[in-house]
Amino acid sequence: MQQNIKLAFLVFMDLCIVTISPYLSLYLRLDGAFNSPFYFNLFNIIPAIVVIRLVSFYFFGLYKRLWRYASINEVLVIVSAVTVSSIFVAGYIYAVSASLPKSIHFLDWFCTISFIGVSRFCVRLVHYWRKHKNKNCCVNVLIVGAGDAGAMIARELQQRYYASKNLVGFVDDDQYKHRQKLFGVKVLGVCKDISSIVDRYQVDEIIIAMPSLEGGVLRKIINECKATKCSVKTLPGIYELIDGKVSIQQLRNIDLEDLLRRDPVTLDMEEISSYLAGKRVLVTGAGGSIGSELCRQIAKMSPQMLIFLGKGENSIYEIDRELQGKYPNIAFEAVIADVRDEQRIYSVFKQFKPQVIFHAAAHKHVPLMEAQPAEAVRNNAFGTKIVAEAADGIGSEIFVMISTDKAVNPTSVMGATKRVAELIIQNMSKSSNTKFVAVRFGNVLGSRGSVIPLFKKQIAQGGPITITHPDMKRYFMTIPEASQLVLQAGALAKGGEVFVLDMGEPVKIVDMASDLIQLSGLVPYKDIKIQFSGLRPGEKLFEELLTAEEGTTSTKHKKIFVANLKQVDEQKLYHGLLMLKNEARADHVIKILMNLIPTYKSARVQYCMSLEKKETQIQEEYNERNGQWQPADIIVN
């Protein structure tokens, strides 16, 4: 009912305007004279002019718009509607041979646009006055960043959240913007002024609207904001905003990923689309962290079919349902299968004939695989071999395997088995028409089983946070960043390459834990303790992306390199795989892996050797004492 009243009011207002405007135009043209016969001529045709104008306004949608949110688009619609109706009015006047000055057409066009525009502006003005009447109960908001993202957030705050949030201003380090106005609100200063601005304007909430900001700079801004005790929100990083759309619904609390932001990845979308658009694409491990994100990114490239393959039915179901709703024009297939099941994998490949394969299925937990090396071999090495041979058998175009920095000079079973998988891929590329490549990168923030969810759980429980060693460092990358670079690496594939991603600088785990504690509003070592538990079997203090002798060759993408690896010894690889195939004894599996990967230094073997050495020392002491034990001798630390 209220909507109909508003519509009737707008129509009545327009009726008055289009009736008065021609008379006013004629009055101006005749320099204020009232006794001209032109007024009588105009009176005869005014009903037709009104009808033409209102019909034009209706077809241009002037009565289907929320004028309280009017912008430049609405101004253009008004100009278009009046211009088109003016052409019809001029045609009608000419058709009925009405005698009027020719200049009246331009004057009437100008007056009608002006009055209609002013009337809509008045609607906005009333709305503005009403929303600012009760500003005392609003949350005062300061936006950091007066760029495109900040402007979008400001506009949405003013149009949709005016009842609960009051935008007091912006801060931006660009001196050109200082004291300038955006949506009627000033840029109040630079980022170092945040504390004083918060005090002066009684700010309650700070929004950081700079999605492409580098992590180190963001850290400084967050420290400035945290000192104010205000609520701090941020937009996701540019990797999560690949479509460029910014909305207030995307605002969230500061997270650890924000502090690790690096320069945005520049993707060659045309190159990526050229090998994915209209193709049948299969992703193994599609329910995992990297696998599911790969599926999301691939779906944006409009493949003909996207096949989710994994052995966890719940995770496969979830990614299938998520993408079915977003991309109704793509054929999705959810396949429950184990990459170790040769017959099942061959059956799936024969049925769907995928042209591009992303192999993300793997066992990745270092301590678990250290305890059961035969399982790691079966999944990481033979699972890769089965999927790769199936791809070769049906003539797939590209096969991309997800590898790890733990494959370099491995000290763990997981790293050694991933290096074997790389060897399998390299070897197959020598005799296949399929382009086989591997992509090697470090840890992924937020992935299942990663350190960040564990730290968050420990903080929620009140601590302590447990870290294996104070000097431990790791390379980190966000899930979207890693997935996008994997897709780009696939576009660069020629066959046989092991691509290495630029992971930036390694991060100390203890610093990451401290950041996470502070982001939770607590103080490290005071509110939440940090304890060191010692290195676990298979762990290294520092991960490497390359061995010292490997080196890299650059590609046309500045964040992707090709590792200069030695040629694969095919006979040695074949012999090693043959021995591993039916070997279940852990120590024997490790010895075969050490022979197959000369750089593999097994933590398990080193531990056993240290035990043997200690037992030898005890035996020697026992012999020296003529076989007489002392009670303290049997305690071995």
CA atoms of 362 and 380, how far apart (whole Å)? 5
Provide the pairing of β-strand 498-501 with 560-563: antiparallel
Q: Which two tokens stand for residue 286?
A: 């599609």
CA atoms of 259 and 517, how far apart (whole Å)? 13
Please list the residues that pair with 499 across neighbouring strands.
Answer: 439, 562
Strand order of the β-sheet with 560-563 is 331-336, 305-310, 280-284, 356-359, 398-404, 435-441, 498-501, 560-563, 552-554
Residue 411 has what DSSP assignment? Answer: -
CA atoms of 308 and 352, how far apart (whole Å)? 11
Q: How far is CA 174 from CA 177, 187, 246, 592, in A?
A: 6, 10, 21, 60
Question: Interhelix angle for 603-624 vs 586-596, to 10°?
Answer: 120
DSSP letter string, 412-450:
SHHHHHHHHHHHHHHHHHTT-SSEEEEEEE-EEET-TT-
Q: Position of tokens 């763990």?
A: 412
Q: Which residue, among 583, 636, 586, 635, has the nearest Cα to 612 in the 3D structure? A: 636
Residue from 233, 364, 385, 406 carrying the catalytic annotation: 406
Is 406 one of the catalytic residues?
Answer: yes
CA atoms of 525 and 320, how far apart (whole Å)? 43
CA atoms within 13 A on the CB side of 625: 11
CA atoms of 353 and 305, how far apart (whole Å)? 10
End-to-end Cα separation, the chain, in angstroms: 84
Region for residue 438 given its phi and psi (left: phi exceeds 0; alpha: psi -120 to 50; beta: otherwise): beta
- Residue 431 neighbours by CB distance under 10 Å: 8
Helix (H, G, I), strand (E, B), or coil: what is residue 53? helix
| Burial class of residue 597, CB neighbours in 10 A (0-12, 13-18, 19+) | buried
* Burial call 560-596: b when 16+ CB within 10 Å, e when fewer: bbbbebeebeeeebeebbebbeebeeeeebbebbbeb
CA atoms of 581 and 307, how far apart (whole Å)? 29
Q: Position of tokens 């979008």?
A: 152
Q: Where are the beta strands (DSSP E) in 68-204?
A: 139-144, 165-171, 181-182, 185-189
Region for residue 512 given its phi and psi (left: phi exceeds 0; alpha: psi -120 to 50; beta: otherwise): alpha
- Residue 609 neighbours by CB distance under 10 Å: 11
Region for residue 602 given its phi and psi (left: phi exceeds 0; alpha: psi -120 to 50; beta: otherwise): beta
Task: Kindly list the catalytic residues.
Answer: 406
